[in-house]
Amino acid sequence: MKSQPDDEQVAIVIGAGPSGLACSLGLSNVCKRVLLVEKHPTFEKRGSTFGMAKNGQKTLDELRPGLLNYMEDIGLPGGPGGTLVFVWWEMRNAFLHHVRQTENIELFCGEEFTDIEESDEAGVTVKFKSGLELKGDFLVGADGVHSEVRKVLDLPPVLVSDTTIYRGSVQVPEAASPELRGLLQKGIVPFFTGDGKEIYFVSFNFNERYPGRLTWFLATRLDVDKDSSLTPFTISRDNVKDESELRLLHDILSLSEEDHLKPYPKSSIVDLSEDALSTFVGGGWGGRGRITLIGDAAHGMRPTDAYGGSMALEDAVVLSRILKDGKESLPVLLRRFESERLPRVKRVYDNQYERYDTRMRKGTRLDPQPQEFMDWLLAGV
């Protein structure tokens, strides 16, 4: 496909998590059609909590007018600098609702990406395990840190951390202990246990919006893969020294669904070291030709302060702006997108890496971020 006006282009987006949904909304404003593909057949209640900082919120109305008010109606103020906190799947479903209301976005579910062919004349042909083939002008990989698009691009494998994560959500009954019911009035409550290295547990209260709803997050550096006896119950039992705190954690875990007590895959990040970046052409994060990456697929970072989601929303609006205003060829515009985003993304990535090291490796409580950094971050794009 030769160069053509932006509003005649067909975009293909792989991955219908929050970043892919947001990206599709943004691209629908500048492209004729957006083909959004998700490997899961249905949209389940997955995940725990999503924090959207002010810089992420500032993107919403550019993606879709009225989206900020919609999100404010389902989120709760819950973090520094005006962060909105959501039940993860409620936030995902809000984006999904707007995608389904957008006529020029077509959603394909249950389709597993396998390969892509590209050329200047034919654009991109994206292939799926079922035999489905989609044709478009360019491809955006928004399929998370374990991105299949990254693999097709032959980019370096992700760096697997020594941290295992569990996430869950519970409905606290009226008959629960006063201590557990009390968490419903306390917002975000971090529990630092032992020396801070073996286990880190946080609860999030959504009682104001969803009465009785509490979500939780547990991170541990213990080797769960090698020791099958390690579960959230045994990890906390062996590492929480305060008996009242242990009872509280076990009350929460006892109310959790069985699937929430299973570990997520090891926490992983994309390698954005200077050595890795020096191997990429065009000053970006590894896209080539008519293919680019956004969100965790491009720059998955440590989840220390939960900035990754808002950075993905920034990706979505910056990509749409560049495609709308740029006059160069698509490959040039996609490399410009990556190279313009990289300095800001790298600063946040490095910040989160250092703070993770402080909390999980050294077992030290984190100090608040410097005000200069927060002002710069929350100003957004």
What is the CA angle 317-319-320, rounded to 5?
65
**Which tokens sit at 68?**
């900020």
Q: How far is Cα 310 from Cα 227, in angstroms, rounded to an integer?
A: 35
Asked if residues 71 and 47 have their Cβ atoms less than 8 Å apart, the reply is: no
**Which tokens sit at 160?**
């697997």
Taking only the tens of pLDDT, the chain with its 381 residues reads 334 445 689 999 999 999 999 999 999 999 999 999 999 999 988 777 899 999 999 999 999 999 999 999 998 887 677 899 888 999 999 999 999 999 999 999 999 999 999 988 889 999 999 999 999 999 999 999 999 999 999 999 999 887 888 988 899 999 999 999 999 988 778 765 555 556 778 888 887 888 999 989 898 888 888 888 899 999 999 888 888 889 999 999 999 999 889 988 777 899 999 999 998 877 899 999 999 999 999 999 988 888 999 999 999 999 999 999 988 999 999 999 999 999 999 999 999 999 877 766 666 677 889 999 999 999 999
* pLDDT value for 3: 44
- Give the E-state strand segments of the chain in sequence order: 10-14, 33-38, 49-52, 76-77, 84-87, 105-109, 113-119, 123-128, 133-136, 138-141, 159-160, 164-171, 188-192, 199-205, 213-220, 268-269, 291-293
* Angle subtended by helix axes 67-74 and 88-100, to nearest 10: 150
Give 168's strand partners. 216
Sheet holding 76-77, edge to edge: 49-52, 84-87, 76-77
Q: How far is Cα 265 from Cα 160, in angstroms, rounded to an integer?
A: 9
Among 24, 26, 21, which residue's Cα sits nearest to residue 92?
21
User: Residue 111: what residue type?
Assistant: E
* pLDDT value for 47: 75
Strands 33-38 and 49-52 come out as: unpaired
**Which tokens sit at 370?**
């410097």
Among 42, 55, 53, which residue's Cα sits nearest to residue 93?
42
DSSP codes, 194-216: TTSSSEEEEEEE-TTTSTTEEEE
The set of residues, in sequence order, having a beta carbon less than 8 Å from that of 68 and lying 6+ positions away, is 57, 60, 61
Give 316's strand partners. none
Residue 102's Cβ-count burial label (10 Å; 0-12, 13-18, 19+) is middle
Residue 274's Cβ-count burial label (10 Å; 0-12, 13-18, 19+) is exposed
Sign of CA dihedral 119, 124, 127, 132: negative
**Which tokens sit at 16?**
């219908």
* pLDDT value for 193: 56
* pLDDT value for 360: 63
Q: What is the helix, strand, coil percentage profile of the chain, to 5? A: 40, 20, 40
Residue 320's Cβ-count burial label (10 Å; 0-12, 13-18, 19+) is buried
Q: How far is Cα 192 from Cα 219, in angstroms, rounded to an integer?
A: 11
pTM for the complete prediction? 0.87
